[in-house]
Each structure stands twice: as C-alpha cells, then as structure tokens.
Structure 1
Amino acid sequence: MPEKNNFMSLPDEILLHIIKFLEIQDVVKLQSVCRKFLSICRDNPHWRKRCLHASTSLEHVSLFRRGSDWIDEEGIPLSRAAPTDSHPLQHHNVIERIGMLASRKRQREYSRIAANWDPTFPGEKTNWYNEYIQRHGPVVTNWFERPQSEGPTADIIDVRGIALYRPLEAENQLFAVSPLDDGSICLWDVKGTKSRKGSILSKSRSGLLWHPEGMPSVKKPVRSIDRGIIECVSVDNHRHAAFFALGNKIDLQAMAIITVTPFERMIMTMSAANTSVPLTVGTFNGLYLHDYRIGQAPHHEKHEVVEPFPLSRVLNDWRPLPPYAPLAQPGPQYIHHMDYPGHPGQLSDDIFVAGRFTSILHYDRRMFPSIKGSLHSGGRLCSLTSLPYPFSSVDSDLRRRLELTEEQVIESKNAAGGRTLIACGEYNTKGSLEIYGLSSEYQDGNQNCVSYNSTTKNRQTASSSKLLSVINHGNRIVFSDGQGYLKWMERDGFTEVRRHKIGKVEKEDDTQRSLFGTMPGSDDIARKILSTRTEVGSSTANDDDILFWTGETLGLVNFTSKSSFFPEDFIENNKCSIEEEAAKQERVYAKRMRLALERQADEVRFVQNLGMPRD
C-alpha cells in the first residue's frame, strides 16, 4: 500500500516558506493546483518581498554584504573575527556571536530599506500580486472596434474623446463613452461583461450632439468638438448622464438629449462629473460652476408669445448665469477636483486648473469665483491627478536614496492634512513631471488654509518630448508622452519602473505590414489614459488595465503575454472561399513586393557608401 502523501497537511507557513524558493513561473502554475495553494500563493507579504527584490531602486544596494563594512552593536568590525592558533575555542565563540549579531543587523537593515522603498501609505490597501504583474509581467496593446458609417462605403469614423461609465456599482461593468466625428455617441464594453471585450455596445444616431441650441454662435456645419480638446466628455455614473463640450447633457441609457446649456465661448475642458459637487466647465477665457443637478426644462419645450410681452412671467422664470471666473490668460486644458486628505473618493472644495499658462490656479468652491492661490510651474501643463496623502520633496529624495530610518519614514507618511498634486506637460520642448506637496490646516473642523510647501520637478529624465496625460496606477504614476510611450514611475517621480510603446493600430502581421511601418514617428500616441480599475474588480487578479485614446481610436494596454483583439477581428467575414483565396494571394504578393523594395533600398544605401572617403 503506498504511503500517504503528507505534503498537503503541512502548515501554511512551511508551505509558504518552500514556495518563496520557486521561480515566478512555477508559483503561477502552482496556483491552479487547488484552492489551498491558490490562497497561499497569493499571500500579500510574499509578493511585496518579490516586488522589493525586483525593484530597480535596489540595484546599487547589496542587502547581504559581507566584510568589514558590517559593524556589530559594540562597534566591532566583522573582520576582527580572524582565526588564531592560540585560542581556537575563543575564535569559534566570536564567530558564532558575530554571526548572530550580523544576522540581526542584516534583518534590521533589510527592514529599513524595505520601509524606504515601500510606496504605500498608512490605511492604503494594496494587492501586491497585482503590483508585481503590472511592474514585471508581460504587457501588450489591444485595439478597440472602430465605428463605421452606415451605407455601402462603411467609412471609419474618428473618435473625439473618452470617458468611463460605470452603470452599476455592484457589478464589474465598465463602458467607454466617446463622441464621434459625425456627431453621434458610441459606447464600448471595456470589461466584456455585456458583449465581446473591446466591441461596440451601442451607438446613437448621427448628429445627435449637433443640436441648434448647443452652440448658438456657431454654424451647424462646424458644430463639432474640436480635435484639440482632450477633456470633452464627462460622465455621472449615478445619474447615467454624460456631458459633452457642446453643452449637451445626454441620457446614456436612452441615447437622447436631456438638456442643452449654451455657453458664450467654446468649451475647452471639463472636470470629472460627481453627484456631490457641480461640474466645473472651462471655456476659452473663463471658468463656470455648472450645477446640472438643478432641474431644467427639456430642450424640446418651446414657449410662444401670443399676447403682449409677459414681463412678470419672464422675471419670475429668469435664472441667473452660473458663477463665472474670468482667466487672465486663455486656454485652460485640465480641471481637477481634489479629495480630502486621507479620504480617497471624498471630494473637497478645492479646484485646480492647468493650461496654457505658467501656473496652476487654485480655487475654493465656497469662495468661487475668487482665486485662492497658485502654484508656479513655468511650463505648459495639460493633465493633473492627485493623491490624498502627504508629499515632501526632501523626504522623497532621501527615501529614493534609501537613507531614512524606519521612524523617519513613518513620520513622513503620517503628516496630518497632507495631499499630493501631480501634473504633467511641457517645459522648453521637453516633458515635465511635477509633484506638489500640499498641507491643510483645520480650525473648528473646517479647512481654512492650504499651503504649498514642497515641489519636485522632473524635467531631465521624464521624456524628451511633451507629456500628454498622467494618472495613478496602483502604487505608481503612469504618463504618456509624445513619442508613443507609456512610462510607469515610482511616486518619487524619478525612479522609472517600466515603459511600453503602444505601437500602431494595425495587426502585427508580415503580410499586412506597411513599408513605412518601421519609420520613426509612425507609431500612435496616447493623448489620454485612464485606469480601468473598479471597486468590485479590485479584488480580482490582473483587472486594472490602461485605456487610452489616440485622437482617432481607442486602445487597451493589458498585462498579458498575447494580444486579445484588433479592429479587424470585429469585422464580419462574409467572403466565400474564392474571395478569401484571392485576398490571401494578394497579401503574399504585397509581402514579396515589400521585401523586394526593402532589399533594393539596402543595395542603394550600400552602393552610395562605397564612394565615401575614409577618415
């Protein structure tokens, strides 16, 4: 009778100790054996250590050094433990004692380095298994289905913006909402809960956004969202409504206009919509607080005057214009509503505005339209995000060099009333990543003062081109640049974690590759990026991807080894076998011609270099 295998009966601590010696690929495979191994292999502290050991910030640090640089608690170097012939027993005791002291010292040093490296703050929940995947796992680009016009030509319609729509908090549903070039609205399924992942879920009729009341000063043929406007759509998930830069409020469930709010000038940007606060709208030269929660008459209701002018009724029905704050310099590009310190998701009264001016403007919703302050940048900023946790440029620099003690790290992370504002843009044609530390003072439970006490600006290693969009992704900062890269940084703003080039919106197939596909500048760029994380999906492994908009189409960056879908995959194939064979032969012929042209170009370059003089 075979002996019973008692391996599964071992305590979880012993099994976890064994697992830590396995390679990453083996640990991933071990998760599928049973639920017990799945639970053990997802141990959070285990993956935190894995992230620490693989971190680029520890490349210059040897955690287990040996030699005279290790000093014991009495100040005796370890090299003093040299062997002597006269006292062999004493030498053995010294070796044992110093070995124990060195082990404890290495453990304390390891804890100190781990505390300096750890990017999390007290009370912040982190799934370190997901962190490891997003830091060191494979990454690929997928492209969403491209909308087409109706008719025999079926032309591709460009996408003019993007926002995320979460209809149900209890389910892991996530849709992308975008205005199209033909005035329609399109919804894509991001998570694949209602349809195929990346496919079009619904599309409104053409010209829905071109309502004559939306932009009274603009003629209908040009009544569309300008291509230079990035933040042109905002979604209220609770009311299932979307706001567009033409002044329209759209019901996303019925795909119909609810109200139209005319603005005197073109809308340049909008804040994220939230039921608890009014929407902040930025026009060419001013800011508005648009409280869409106040009931308004539907756009189709018209009142005709058939009697003498009813002045009393007009005065009773008159509604004042929304609060307006003029800008000294035109061109706002991003409006950010900041959270309360230490409370993610709870919006405060602070509004920050960035744009084609050299400072970040700070407004308080309670004192609007008076400006509360400004943060001088010197660059042209186009995107903002924030963290409800403190930031100090001095402490951040010392932590990046792993020089703080554990007590100092804890003190810096527990600063009361601290928040972090992150901005990106351009400074002297180069990318600029800027981090501002804000501190709030409270009296009688009310926030009465915000001080700007710390600033860090990375204009050297961020990017050689303009930064376009920045968000928080897990415990990291991710931004896109003008070279087509997505770059992940630690929260210090200088330590690069990884980078990925999104590529081109075409299938990586030799038979379909363009002759100019490998030329510099042929790749797409991510003009806006968004995290696909949901509250329901936060406990799901590898469910936080990067959704991006190139200015013409949508894409999704997944942390997997193989791309899942391309725009061509959503096109129904109605061709017969003869047509498919002809198309295949055409692709083969195109491949041969491309190779012939490439070889001819190589020969021309080789012949040209033959007559060059030698140095």
Structure 2
Amino acid sequence: MAGLSALESLPHEIILEILCFLETKDIIHLQRCSRRLLKLSRDNVFWRARCLLTSSFLEGINLRRGARFPGVIEGALNEDAALQDHDGPDTERSPPPLDFPWASRRAREKEIQKITANWDPSFPGETISWYDEYIHRNSPIAVSWFERPQLRDGGLQDHIEVKGVAVYQHGDEEVFAVSPLDDGSVCLWDIKGTRPGKKKGSILQQSKAGLLRMGSSKSPYLSPDCVSGLTDCGPVLRSFVDSYLTVQGHVVEVDLGTLQVVGDQPYEWTITTMSSAQPGVPLTIGTLHGIHLHDSRYGRYVEQTRQERIDDFDRYNAPRRLSLLLFSDPLPPYAPLPHSNPLSILHLEQPGNKQTVSDDIFVAGRFSNILNYDRRMFPSIKGSLHSGARLCSLTSLPYPFSSVDSELRRKGELSIAQVEKIKETTGGRTLVACGEYNTKGSLEIYGLGPPLPGQEPHGVSLNSVMKNRQTASKSKLLSVINHGTCLVVSDGSGYLKWVERDGFTEVRRQYIGPSERVVGHTSLFNEMPGSGEIARKLLSTQSRQASDDKSNDDDILLWTGEKLGLVNFSSKQGFTADDFEEGDTRTPEEVAAEKEKQHYEERMRQALERDADGVRLFKVLGASIRG
C-alpha cells in the first residue's frame, strides 16, 4: 500500500512514462487500484500511440522505406505518448536522446508527428475512446451464439429459424435484439444481460406463434401462408411501443410491450428492404419494382377500415388487390425502379453530425448504380453513382473522403498541415458500399460534397471514389458497418474483417467458425471448408451511456440467416445456444461426444442406404442381362 501511495503521488507525466514500460495486461490490473490510476490508464493520447504501434499502417510505412530504421520509430512513438500532459492539451515535449539516423532530434520529432497525423483516422469533434480502439484492434475475439427459440410438440422439440434482426436500445444501458421467426412469432433477446435473471443472449420475450400469419379472424388482410415471405431485413424499430417488420408485401407494426399487431400497410409488390428508423423521419421502403415513403398513420387507417370493406370470401383470396379497388384514394407516390430488387436503403447523415439525418436517400441493389433521392423532392430521382457491382449493404460517415488524399496518407506522404486541412473540410460526407464484382468482394467508398455551382440546390455531388476489388475479399461481401474508427465487413467465406477508413489497410480478421462448441478432438466435418457460419448482417450493440467504468461496450451482433451470434472482445470462451438448455446436466465433453456419435450414426445410415441402392441396381442389371 505504501508503494501504491508513492506511485499516486507522482505527477501525471511520470506515471505515463512508467506505463510505457508495462505490458498491456499489467496496465489493466493497475486500473483497479484507484480512480486516479484508472483515469490515467485510459489516457487517450497514450492508447492512440499504442494503437499506432500495433497497426499494419506502421508496418506498411517501414516496408515502403525498406525497413531502414527498425525499432526507432516505434520507440520514439512510445516515448512521445508518455510525455503528453494528461490534464492539459496535447503539448509536445522533448524526449530523451536516442540513437537515430535523422539529421537532428527536431527532424525525428517531425517525422513522428507526420506519421501519427497521416494514420490518425479521427476527425475534429469526433469522440473516440482509444482505449476501446486498442481492445477492438488487439484483444482476443470470442464468438457467442444466442439462445434459439424452440418449437415444442409434446416431448419433441426443434429450433425455429430467425428471419432477420434489428437492435433496439431501451434507456441508456438496455440493448435488445428483435426478430421475426419462421413460425410467425416475434422474439426479443437481452444482448447485454441487463435484465434481472437474464444472461447475455437469452430470450427475453416471445409472442405466440402465428402473430405474423395474418390468416386469423382478427387480421384478415394477409394470406395464411405469408410467413414464408418474411424478408431478410427484419424489423426496424422506432420506439419501444412500435416496431416494423416486413412480411411479403406488407409492413406490419408491432407493439413490443404487448407483442400485438397494431398496424399494417400493404404494398403492391414484395418488400425486399427498408431503411433504419429515425425520429420524425418516414421509413423508406424498397419493393421489387419501386421505392416508397412509409407513413405509419396511413397504415393504422388501413387496418381499422379494411375489415369493414372486405367480406369473408375476399379475406382469404385476394384481399390486397380487392382492397385497392374498393378504396377511392389514389396510391401514394412512389419511385419506379428501372431494375428490380433493391437490397439496401440508407438515410445519409448531416455533415459532421452522426445523430441527425439529412434528406438524402441512397438505394443499392442488383443494379449497377447507387440511386440518390431527396425526400423533399420525392419521387423524383436526383442522381446516381455508378458502381458496376451488385451491392447489398450501405453505411456512411458524416466526414469528407478523398481517394487521392487517402492514398497519400496511407503511404505517410502528407504533411501535418495538409492532413489538418483535409479534416477541416466542411460539408463533406462518405458513403460506403459493399457487394460483389466478378465473383469477388467489392468494398467501395464515395466522397460526397454539396452541390456544385450550376447544379440544383438539393442533392449531393461526387467528389471522389475508391473501389477495392483486389484485396477486399475472395468472396462476396455481405454486410458493412462502422465500428469505432474502423469499417467491419463480413464475407461469403465466413470471415469478419476490420479495415481502416481508407478501405484498403486491413486491421485484423476473424473466422466466425461453427456455432456449436467443439470440445476435445474435432470432427472431420468441422474442419472441412464451408463448415463455419456466415454473417449476412452485422449490427453494432453500443449503448448510449459512455463512461470510464463502462468500456468495451461496442460488440457486434451478427445474423446468419437462421440464428443470431455476438462478437465480443474478451479472452473468455463465448457461450453457445446449448448453454441455455435447462435440465441438461451433461458436461461439455459429454455433449460433444453425443453429437459426434449422432454424426457417425448418420454417416453409417447414409452409407447403408447407398449400399442397398447398389445391391438393388445390381439385381436389376443382372435380371435384364439374363432376360
């Protein structure tokens, strides 16, 4: 205790200097000693330097320079981080002399500052926790799997497939996953285990089966077999009272408090995607052949009046077409598509503000262009961005992007003044898209700016474009999201990849693997290519509350097409769906042995069937020869 008191009495600069000589695990243990050490151990400048030291960006710099000065840049960067004042601004101080090959100490300091400025992906006004960034870039990754809903029939049970997912945040800490299920029910999971008695990934609430199978007398306006048409986009949430799910050509509004249907909006064609929901902004719906703006008030009106205007015969045959004939009101305006099947819709943010969306709507899908609409001028199209790829996911950043500047920064060639000028550019935004081009993954970044002189005042202009179709992935990219200062993509080979905002520099990758825990010796089938899961959709689970005591809060929720998983940054082994089974007292080794036995028995059964087929074929051929 005396030693700890003596350590805490030292100035901030000395303590940060000591931290530079400690291993990361030792710094984490030191945080638990006192509030002051916790605050110092989360110093942003210190962890930013450690992120750079472990980055592939620095490796690329050394390789391009022929590794002429191995270890010198790394040591100098570490010293530079230790000599920053924690309470004051990030003022530079003179480090102690080292054996360096530059002409002078000042030249070395300039080089360090230049490398840091070229690498730093943050923008002015952007809040970054570099401690969390270091965890995301270097910590072990655990992949866990949520509890799976069960379909029970007496003593038999079977899993119910999850048909989509969205994230809902209730308050500052509670985060839920909401999904429509294959049996027509709606299910909620507790992602962080904040509810009493609930574990991470456990089912919080599930509606009755058939809630979305609108063939009952209470909801006669959907056909009984419409559950097979649940779309992959899943629900989009507006508040805890209302959520939106798409079922074939309908947007169904569900009250999450009671898990009851409270509204329905029919559309002419099958819905393939829809935008996320923001307060005061209508949803944008993508159908096979058009783009629509969704007004929930219109949906509620349809639900209340339709039952009075359609008789019992119509409710089970062609309710949607007949209802359109009975209503005298014209169809709401929509934007027809020249090519069918949109797959992603994005509401672009305001420049420099992640929390506020603009009037710009971008649509991507199985067509060569990204379409741009302005909500104020809808349904007129404002423009398009040529891609040439088949895109399936969009995200954005409210900051500018230039492919030329990004390339120069990746090589560490821009000066500090040039980097500052780039980051201070106002009105710029970045659109990120991913998909497939010639069977390979395509990661594309578009730099958007305000309209140019002579153009219409509404809309955006394309300033720059970068298309990574060489190193992004050997297979199709399925989803892309922002994760701290990185972009995260999932591909058809079962990998998650973190890349810098330049779209080229890979930070790390993680193979998702099988959803069943493997204990002991691995099965031959588990080692075969393609045996792991594939993430069709990625979502961030970061809660609104941020504090020093609540770090490493930004996990990644993934949907495989039939189940949900969670990627978190921890050395602990992730949980599986089997961990939620009640009444199962078997050890993990016994469970694995039982599954291995089942695999063996299934292979033997298939082999016997093939042998029996061969014997029957031999007898038939023999009889035909004798005849």
TM-score, normalised by the number of residues in structure 2: 0.81
Q: Which structure shows the bigger proportion of residues in helix conformation?
A: 2
Partner of 1:248: 252
Partner of 2:276: 272
Structure number with greater Rg is: 1
1:202 equivalent among 195, 202, 205: 205
Question: What amino acid does structure 1 have at the position aligned with 2:265?
Answer: T
Change (3 A) 1:99 1:489: closer
For residues 232 and 143 of structure 1, the distance between their equivalents in structure 2, rounded to whole angstroms, comes to: 18
Q: Deviations over 1:377-434 (max 9, x none)?
A: 0010000000000000000000001000001101111222100000000000000000
Q: Superposition RMSD on alpha carbons, in Å?
A: 3.5
CA drift at 1:100: 10
2:159 equivalent among 138, 156, 159: 156
CA drift at 1:37: 1.4
CA drift at 1:28: 1.3
Q: Deviations over 1:491-543 (max 9, x none)?
A: 000000000011111012137x5441111111110000001112214752111
After TM superposition, the structure 1 = structure 2 runs for residues 17-56 of structure 1, keeping only pairs within 5 Å, are 17-56=17-56
Change (3 A) 1:591 1:265: closer
Unpaired segments ≥5 residues, structure 1: 71-94, 307-313, 598-615
Partner of 2:576: 566
Question: What amino acid does structure 2 have at the position aligned with 1:510?
Answer: G
Question: What amino acid does structure 2 have at the position aligned with 1:56?
Answer: S
Change (3 A) 1:345 1:5: closer
Deviates more, 1:26-35 or 1:367-376: 26-35
2:534 equivalent among 522, 525, 531: 525
- 1:133/1:542 contact within 8 Å kept: yes
CA drift at 1:230: 2.6
- 1:379/1:425 contact within 8 Å kept: yes
Partner of 1:292: 296
Q: Deviations over 1:445-492 (max 9, x none)?
A: x95341112000000000000000000000000000000000000000
Q: Deviations over 1:75-118 (max 9, x none)?
A: xxxxxxxxxxxxxxxxxxxx99x999611111111001100000
After TM superposition, the structure 1 = structure 2 runs for residues 136-215 of structure 1, keeping only pairs within 5 Å, are 136-152=138-154, 153-168=156-171, 171-194=172-195, 195-212=198-215
Match of 1:146, SS?
coil
Match of 2:481, SS?
strand
For residues 598 and 17 of structure 2, the distance between their equivalents in structure 1, rounded to whole angstroms, comes to: 53
- 1:52/1:117 contact within 8 Å kept: yes
After TM superposition, the structure 1 = structure 2 runs for residues 428-507 of structure 1, keeping only pairs within 5 Å, are 428-441=438-451, 448-507=458-517
Deviates more, 1:266-275 or 1:209-218: 209-218
Match of 1:478, SS?
strand
Change (3 A) 1:99 1:53: closer
Change (3 A) 1:580 1:343: closer
1:372 equivalent among 362, 370, 382: 382
- 1:271/1:280 contact within 8 Å kept: yes
Change (3 A) 1:13 1:161: same
For residues 381 and 422 of structure 2, the distance between their equivalents in structure 1, rounded to whole angstroms, comes to: 30
Change (3 A) 1:419 1:49: same
Change (3 A) 1:3 1:109: closer
CA drift at 1:582: 13
For residues 459 and 352 of structure 1, the distance between their equivalents in structure 2, rounded to whole angstroms, comes to: 21
Deviates more, 1:148-157 or 1:487-496: 148-157
For residues 581 and 392 of structure 1, the distance between their equivalents in structure 2, rounded to whole angstroms, comes to: 51
TM-score, normalised by the number of residues in structure 1: 0.83
- 2:145/2:201 contact within 8 Å kept: yes
Q: Deviations over 1:520-578 (max 9, x none)?
A: 11111000000111221475211101100000100000100122421011000256xxx
- 2:283/2:293 contact within 8 Å kept: yes
1:425 aligns with 2:427: no
Partner of 1:233: 235
For residues 589 and 470 of structure 1, the distance between their equivalents in structure 2, rounded to whole angstroms, comes to: 35
Question: What amino acid does structure 1 have at the position aligned with 2:132?
Answer: N
Partner of 1:90: none
Match of 2:105, SS?
helix
Match of 2:430, SS?
strand
For residues 49 and 178 of structure 2, the distance between their equivalents in structure 1, rounded to whole angstroms, comes to: 39
Q: Deviations over 1:238-261 (max 9, x none)?
A: 644333344211011110011111
Q: Deviations over 1:268-319 (max 9, x none)?
A: 111111222111111111111112156833736643699xxxxxxx999965
After TM superposition, the structure 1 = structure 2 runs for residues 92-103 of structure 1, keeping only pairs within 5 Å, are 102-103=104-105
For residues 113 and 514 of structure 2, the distance between their equivalents in structure 1, rounded to whole angstroms, comes to: 44
CA drift at 1:189: 0.4
1:258 aligns with 2:268: no
Q: Deviations over 1:308-334 (max 9, x none)?
A: xxxxxx999965433211001101000
CA drift at 1:13: 1.7
For residues 382 and 428 of structure 1, the distance between their equivalents in structure 2, rounded to whole angstroms, comes to: 15
Match of 1:362, SS?
strand
Match of 1:409, SS?
helix
The number of residue pairs the alignment matches comes to: 553
Change (3 A) 1:356 1:315: closer
Partner of 1:609: none
For residues 384 and 26 of structure 1, the distance between their equivalents in structure 2, rounded to whole angstroms, comes to: 40
1:10 aligns with 2:10: yes
For residues 219 and 290 of structure 2, the distance between their equivalents in structure 1, rounded to whole angstroms, comes to: 16
- 2:69/2:101 contact within 8 Å kept: no
After TM superposition, the structure 1 = structure 2 runs for residues 310-389 of structure 1, keeping only pairs within 5 Å, are 319-389=329-399
For residues 258 and 40 of structure 1, the distance between their equivalents in structure 2, rounded to whole angstroms, comes to: 51
Match of 2:463, SS?
strand
Change (3 A) 1:410 1:189: same
Change (3 A) 1:287 1:449: closer
Partner of 1:608: none
Change (3 A) 1:435 1:215: farther
Unpaired segments ≥5 residues, structure 2: 74-96, 312-323, 605-627
CA drift at 1:151: 2.7
Partner of 1:402: 412
For residues 360 and 148 of structure 1, the distance between their equivalents in structure 2, rounded to whole angstroms, comes to: 40
Partner of 1:81: none
Change (3 A) 1:562 1:6: closer
CA drift at 1:585: 11
Match of 1:142, SS?
strand
Question: What amino acid does structure 1 have at the position aligned with 2:533?
Answer: D
